[in-house]
Amino acid sequence: MPVHDMFDLSGRVAAVVGGGSGIGEAVALGAARAGARVICLDVNADGAERVAAAARSEGSDCDAAVLDIRDAAAVDTAFTRIREARGRLDIVISTPAVNVRKKILDYQDDELDRVVDLNLKGNFYVLRAAGRIMTADRGGSIVLFSSIRSQVVEPGQSVYAATKAAIVQMVRGAASEFGPSGVRVNAIGPGVIETPLTAPIKNDPAWYKAYAEKSAMNRWGTPEEMVGPALFLASDAASFVTGTILFADGGWLAQDGRFTPPGM
């Protein structure tokens, strides 16, 4: 297969969950530009339609629909309708997450539920619903978004980090279970990316600078820089890649400090 064709998504049906903003928006537009027929799913109807309209303005086939992944029945219905309307469901990419930055002793029960319900349970519902369709159809690729926080944490990140670590283990379990049916399941672990989720950090100059300096590339990432990793895992270029996490973190996990000794 020519190298170009390995990354071509022409004719594939791709559901991008969280496609109304941030990383999801960039991935939805990227998948459309790679030839996929994209359905942009988001809890924000206006955001989803705005992104779909932008893709259509470029000549791509892109629809929008409302989906709250905390509702298991709604997730099942959304993917079933896509399969019925489009005749297939080849790719599902799920990006939504929420974070409540508090130390464990300050965490309230409702805040715990908020983070777990979306990050863990919501992504489980996506994984299960997509897996049911794809295993029956004997093929497909599912990509969930984890984080560097699946590996390293800091004060105030314990619950968020726990959900992101759980996503990695869910991906591994699903890869094992779905693999015999030709379905691949992987995760992406972004570093610090400029999105609405990280806006409070960006608005604090000292905090923003500290995070930039922690990465080997001395800067934050952009949503557009998550498109390549996501489309790679979705495409035939990753045909033998499953059950893994691809870190796109600017080298955050590659180093434990930034001090350069004198004379080096």
Region 48-75: what's the mean pLDDT? 98
Does the pLDDT of residue 58 top 90, yes or no? yes
Cα 103 to Cα 40: distance, rounded to the nearest angstrom: 35
Residue type, 36: A
CA 231 to chain centre: 11
pLDDT of 6-49, one tens digit each? Answer: 999 999 999 999 999 999 999 999 999 999 999 999 999 999 99
Residue-wise pLDDT tens digits, 174-210:
999 999 999 999 999 999 999 877 888 888 889 899 9
Instruction: Give the CATH number of domain 3-248.
Output: 3.40.50.720
In this structure, the strands spanning 91-94 and 183-190 are unpaired
Q: Find, among 4, 253, 43, the residue nearest to 152 by Cα.
A: 253
> How much is the pLDDT for 19?
98
Instruction: Characterise 42 by phi-psi region: left (phi > 0), alpha (psi -120 to 50), beta (else).
Output: beta
Is pLDDT larger for residue 2 or for residue 214?
214
Strand partners, 17: 41, 94
Beta strands in the chain (DSSP E): 13-17, 37-42, 62-66, 91-94, 140-145, 183-190, 245-248
In this predicted structure, what is the pLDDT of residue 263?
72
Catalytic residue among 107, 125, 160, 208: 160
pLDDT mean over 214-230:
96
Q: What predicted TM-score, i.e. pTM, was given to this entire model?
A: 0.95
223 CB-near residues (< 8 Å, 6+ apart): 22, 23, 25, 26, 27, 193, 194, 195
Q: What is the pLDDT of residues 75-133, one digit of tens each?
A: 999 999 999 999 999 999 999 999 999 999 999 999 999 999 999 999 999 999 999 99
Average confidence score pLDDT of the chain: 95
User: Does position 264 have pLDDT exceeding 70, yes or no?
Assistant: no
Q: How much is the pLDDT for 54?
A: 98
Any idea where the domains of the chain sit in the sequence?
A: 3-248
208 is an active site residue: no
Instruction: Find the mean pLDDT for residues 221-231.
Output: 98
pLDDT digits (tens, 9 = 90+) for 246-261: 999 999 999 987 767 6
Q: What does each C-alpha distance from 163 to 120, 130, 202 come to in angstroms?
A: 5, 20, 23
